[in-house]
Amino acid sequence: MNITPTDPRYADLVRKAFNKRFIGQPDYICLPGSTAEVIEAVQEAVNSRRRLVARSGGHCLEGFVGDPAVRVIIDMSLMTSVYYDTDKAAFAVEAGVTVGEMYRRLFLGWGVVLPAAEHPGVGVGGHVLGGAFGFLCREYGLAADHLYGVELVTVDAAGKAHSVIATREPDDPNRELWWAHTGGGGGNFGIVTRYWLRSPEVTGSDPYTALPKAPASITTFRITWDWKDFDQTTFTLLVRNFGQWCLENSHPGSAYIQLFNILFLNRRVLGKVEMKGLSTAGDKAETLIDEHLAAVTRGVDIPYTRQIEKSPWLSFALNPFPELFQPGFDQVRAKVKDAFLRRPFTDEQMATAWYYLTTQDYNAFGGLGLATYGGKVNEVPSDATASAQRDAILDTACNVGWGDPGQEADALAWVRAFYRDLYATSGGVPVPNQQTDGAMINHPDADLADPAWNTSGIPWYTLYYKDNYPRLQQVKRNWDPLNIFYHALSIRG
């Protein structure tokens, strides 16, 4: 049944979006319970010429689902099965399940894990097909690296909706469609109803070994500095050390792939500079953490507090760093501007960061986050999956959040100017070059397609997909010839 504005469920469903900047006004929302019902829902929307989008977890950072032009949302949240499919010798995970619930089911059922998002509320549906990195990516790669197959509902040239299965088997005639779902991003080819997951090197049909074993324990660390203790020299040293550590330790053979860390360079008005990280190395975790901290804080002679905790995997995965995801966190309006780095920030970029983090010219609450990257992610060739960036050492994001719509103009002005100036030498965006390597499609930023903010001459799709874009276009032409599935940064056929 279609849920229209007079239905009491409509108000809740329409506000499911994490980023409250983008609340749409569709004619109706549909909640299918099976692939057959997704086909029916897509067909109905196509027949009535209504623009439709898929929604799974609602964690899109841009307005792809909340676009006011969207007339129908097909919400996958009732399709949440997770089971081992003996026919495919792979875990089947329906698109509507959240990452947290998938962690729970895979762990309690079989003791295994898919390396995926940090926030348990993210939907599997819109996440895995964007590559998908997280706390365990340095050890196990991207979620998409473990994608065996995908089922989706797509629309042919005659306007007929149907389902199709595509796997990575070399003789699968639909293999290119599988490939496009290993990093092509959401809302491009059809509506994914189900993923099948099995690590690439796995043979046989034992579910207990089909995916990586979940870590026996997680040792988290939190480091907090008082912002007012920093001057530009110590700030620069900390950022330089962090970048240098990543440069030295982001290859697949690094002794530190079981360590992940995020440096939160918050705006000074927020009071603190922080790091939150973890290691899965069990008894060796504290040693890895100590060595990492020694390298990152070398010469930064500023007191900090240090908190180390050990917890079992699932307790951590379902509530990681609770202070990050507090109640109200999902009521925020936000803008995130992502960039991959191949080499650490330069002195000029660190000076830019110092300025935008300390200036009082803007009323903005945000920061620059630097997440360790690479490790096993960097073992995979650029064209083996659609996730092209395979030698980055850091994933970074200028980000800002606000609650009061009145703050929006200042917040956006700050975050856009900050990012533009960080990448000033390459047209305001992190073009693929010696130092930067584009951005992640799971963190989409429509500014990259706006000539006012991207003056590099390098189109947005090269920033996200690099040389994989023409191949994605071919898949688009083959599988969505009528361009039924589109948004501001969708693949053009």
Beta strands in 254-356 (DSSP E): 259-266, 272-279, 304-311, 333-341
User: In the complex, what is the shortest distance from the CB of residue 489 to ligand FAD, in angstroms, rounded to a whole number?
Assistant: 9
* H helix intervals, 280-402: 285-297, 313-318, 347-358
187 contacts ligand FAD (rule: CB under 6 A): yes
Comparing CB distances to ligand FAD, the nearer of 85 and 151 is 151
- The single residue among 30, 42, 56, 419 that binds ligand FAD, judged by CB under 6 A, is 56
| 24 near ligand FAD, judged by CB under 6 A | no
Find the binder of ligand FAD among 134, 207, 366, 430 (CB under 6 A): 134
Q: Which of 26, 130, 367, 438 binds ligand FAD (CB under 6 A)?
A: 130
**Least Å distance between CB 294 and ligand FAD?**
27
Shortest Å, Cβ 374 to ligand FAD: 15
Euclidean distance between CA atoms 218 and 220, whole angstroms: 6
We find the least distance from the C-beta atom of residue 224 to ligand FAD, in angstroms, to be 21
| Spatial contact of 378 and 391, defined as CB atoms under 8 Å apart | yes
Interactions with ligand FAD, residue window 280-309 (CB under 6 A): none
Between CA 386 and CA 179 the distance in angstroms is 6
Nearer to ligand FAD, 238 or 262 (CB): 262
The region of 53-61, 278-286, 301-309, 448-456 touching ligand FAD under the rule CB under 6 A is 53-61
Phi-psi region of 328 (alpha: psi -120 to 50; beta: other; left: phi over 0): left
**Secondary structure class of 123 (helix, strand, coil):** strand
CB nearer to ligand FAD: give 132 or 166. Answer: 132
| 53 belongs to the binding site for ligand FAD (CB under 6 A) | yes
26, 48 contact by CB (below 8 A): no
Q: Which 87-126 residues touch ligand FAD, going by CB under 6 A?
A: 95, 117-119, 122-123, 125-126
State how far the alpha carbon of 240 is from the alpha carbons of 30, 136, 237, 244, 350, in Å: 50, 24, 5, 6, 8
As a three-state string, the secondary structure of 392-449 is CCEEEEEEEEECCHHHHHHHHHHHHHHHHHHCHHHCCCCCCCCCECCCCCCCCCHHHH
- Number of helical H runs and strand E runs in the chain: 13, 16
The closest alpha carbon to 177, from 196, 190, 187, 194, belongs to 190
Instruction: Kindly tell me which of 349 and 378 has the beta carbon lying closer to ligand FAD.
Output: 378
In the complex, the smallest distance separating the C-beta of residue 54 from ligand FAD, rounded to whole angstroms, is: 4
Residue 186 found at the interface with ligand FAD (CB under 6 A):
yes
Q: Does 18 bind ligand FAD (CB under 6 A)?
A: yes
Decide: 106 and 91 in contact? Cβ < 8 Å. Answer: yes
Of 46, 52, 132, 238, the residue at the interface with ligand FAD (CB under 6 A) is 132
**Using the rule CB under 6 A, is 489 a contact of ligand FAD?**
no
Q: Is residue 26 a contact residue for ligand FAD (CB under 6 A)?
A: no
According to DSSP, the β-strands at 333-341 and 147-155 are: unpaired
What is the contact surface with ligand FAD in residues (CB under 6 A)?
Answer: 18, 53-61, 64-65, 76, 95, 117-119, 122-123, 125-127, 130, 132-134, 186-187, 191-192, 442-443, 487
